[in-house]
Amino acid sequence: MPTKNCWDDETEYDFGALVGSLNQYLRLRTTPVGMKRFEDAGAFEQIRRLRRPAAGEKLATDQIVGQSRWLGYTIGITMENLVGPQCGAVVGLHARDENFLSGHMFNGVWYGDLESSALHQQEMSCAPFGDYEALVVSPLTSGRIDNPDICLIYGTPGQMITLMNGLQYRSYKKYTFTCVGESACADSWGNALKTGEPSLSIPCYAERKFGGVQDDELLLALPPSHLPQVVEGLAALSKNGLRYPIPNHGLDKSPLASLAQSYGG
């Protein structure tokens, strides 16, 4: 029986089928990954083929995620494996303490004054601190973490709008996304872990420099409970002829024929 994730969801999801459908409808370049936190790092011992950073090695969370989605690794970390509070606070492994909120780290680098730097730190969406001491990232199809807190899906803007169209096909809801700037992981996995809502972001400089995010990629983080709705919607859209990749109709040709095909006429 699957363990609960942070949303008390213990559903037994068929991630192989779900990811297979995402690849069928969206043609993703890398495998979606799951992120799950544990109250005790002792849980690492129960996870098959778990990798741990070498003793003394400090990594960015971006790298942990990048190794999982590009190389297929299942990686477990605690706060001592991360380069600092900026990474740990986003996933709830470090407190948003006075030093974190001061903005000193970014002052004169990403922001031109200490006030702006401090405001950036305050505006970051971070998972609550105090409940967890470890985190594991693993491909969803590996079966090594049975019920992640959130799933991370990378794709082009065209893939992402198609995915969002699938999510909104039934039980429509308008989604609003944020851009905190640098440390944009706060807009994606930080916000999803904080709110339980699908969170789309423009990955930042650090995610691209250290995490292997490509120039044309966006990132969507969402709890696994949303995936069946996404796949159902994508299947319905495909049946209606609304598929990815989206064919270009042409700049100088009347759209009436295409509109009639989709909407009737």
pLDDT tens-digit profile of 74-114? Answer: 999 999 999 999 999 999 999 999 999 999 999 999 999 99
Task: Give the three-class secondary structure for 152.
Answer: strand
Distance CA 181, CA 82 (A): 21
pLDDT tens-digit profile of 26-37? Answer: 999 999 999 999
Q: Where are the domains of the chain?
A: 30-245+256-263
Phi and psi based region of residue 242 (left: phi greater than 0; alpha: psi -120 to 50; beta: remaining): beta
pLDDT at residue number 265: 59
pLDDT tens-digit profile of 155-193? Answer: 999 999 999 999 999 999 999 999 999 999 999 999 999
Mean pLDDT of 107-127: 97
Q: Reply yes or no on whether the pLDDT at 124 is more than 80.
A: yes
For the chain, the average pLDDT equals 96
Enumerate residues 6+ apart whose C-beta is below 8 A from 111.
103, 117, 120
Q: Reply yes or no on whether the pLDDT at 128 is more than 70.
A: yes
Confidence grade of residue 261 (pLDDT, cut at 50, 70, 90) = confident
Calculate what percentage of the chain has a pLDDT beyond 90. 94
